[in-house]
Amino acid sequence: MPPHSREDAPPHRTPRWIALGWVAVLTVVAWHHVPKAHANHTHTGSNQLHLSTLHGNNGTSTTPGDQDEQYCVQSRSTSINGTQMANFIEETLAKLSTIWDGTANWRVDLWRASKFCFDYDSATRATIEYEYHIKDDFYEVSLCGGDYSCVVFDNGVYDGSHTHYKWGYSYLQTEHVNGYNTRARKFINHETGHILGLMDPSYNGHCMNSVMHNDLYASMGCTDPVWYPTASDKSSVTRIADRTNTW
Ligand SMILES: [Zn+2]
Ligand SMILES: [Zn+2]
């Protein structure tokens, strides 16, 4: 089943009615949205689902700044070794030849936190921009809806032009990533694309060479097996970072 970008049910930090309100808004937007044919697309308008740090880059070569993106990893499955998974995610995001890290002239600057998410005190954890949680089934907490991996945003802030989010969560199902293989990287890169503001295909046949529009969406006719962020994926994230995204 395809992964899903869910904007509902933040894990534990925002009253649920606020999140449901956004879902209502987004549903309306989605119905009236007419994307360019076969074009990669982003969240646009007054509410944009991406990390608030995406527009800046202020770290050094050895230390993340508050405009960089720190992430932690948390295994919530007894069958997933947290360190092994964190190593695999870090490799996928930042160490292979085609990666998200460095996108938009290093405004995407991904830093792995040294500890697992649950091992931080809440004040320190609040400074970490996003989290990967691996769990056997997110259905029980109503996050991703059964078979899906998904992304959830929380702590929206208005920057003068749009609202974006200080915290993002990538919920990955154990079955999607426990092969530590190309398929697992495909899910990690896809859900990270959501963290960076990209959307899923919005209609049947909305396919292209994109980790967001690949064969995870075979149900919508997409067949490209690409598992890494492509040039068009990166240019779309750059448009978000530049605030020039209009589709
Ligand atoms: Zn998706
Ligand atoms: Zn923004």
- What are the DSSP E strand ranges found in the chain? 4-5, 47-51, 69-75, 110-112, 130-135, 150-158, 163-173
Contact status, residue 144 vs residue 108, Cβ threshold 8 Å? no
The CA-atom distances, in angstroms, between 55 and each of 13, 182, 186, 238 are 24, 29, 25, 9
pLDDT in tens, 207-241: 999 999 999 999 999 999 999 999 999 999 999 99
Report CA(140)–ligand 2 centroid distance (Å).
31
Report CA(69)–ligand 2 centroid distance (Å).
13
CA angle 194, 173, 170 (to 5 degrees): 30
For the chain, what percentages of helix, strand and coil (3-state, to nearest 5) are there? 35, 20, 50
Report how far Cα 166 is from the mean position of its chain's Cα atoms: 13
Section 83-102 average pLDDT: 97
Cβ-Cβ contacts under 8 Å for 223 (sequence gap 6 or more)? 207, 215
Residue 200 pLDDT greater than 90, yes or no: yes
Nearest-angstrom CA–CA distance, 172 and 106: 25
Contact status, residue 155 vs residue 165, Cβ threshold 8 Å? yes
Nearest-angstrom CA–CA distance, 135 and 59: 31
Report CA(200)–ligand 1 centroid distance (Å).
5
Nearest-angstrom CA–CA distance, 33 and 164: 19
Nearest-angstrom CA–CA distance, 28 and 231: 30
Residue 104 pLDDT greater than 70, yes or no: yes
Nearest-angstrom CA–CA distance, 223 and 217: 8
Residue 18 pLDDT greater than 50, yes or no: no
Q: What is the pLDDT of residue 102?
A: 96
The CA-atom distances, in angstroms, between 139 and each of 81, 136, 147 are 21, 9, 8
Report CA(171)–ligand 1 centroid distance (Å).
11
pLDDT in tens, 37-66: 456 789 999 999 999 999 999 988 899 999
Which ligand is in closest contact with the Cα of 168? 2
- 67 closest CA partner among 100, 98, 99, 111: 111
Nearest-angstrom CA–CA distance, 229 and 101: 10
| Structure tokens belonging to residue 90 | 């870090």
| All structural domains of the chain | 4-241 (3.40.390)
Partnered with residue 110 across adjacent β-strands are 69
Q: What is the pLDDT of residue 15?
A: 37
pLDDT in tens, 221-230: 999 999 999 9
Residue 184 pLDDT greater than 90, yes or no: yes
Section 143-150 average pLDDT: 77
Residue 19 pLDDT greater than 90, yes or no: no
Report CA(168)–ligand 2 centroid distance (Å).
13
Quote the percentage of the chain above a pLDDT of 70.
Answer: 82
Report CA(61)–ligand 1 centroid distance (Å).
31
Other CB atoms within 10 A of residue 180 CB = 15
Nearest-angstrom CA–CA distance, 58 and 107: 8
Nearest-angstrom CA–CA distance, 235 and 232: 5
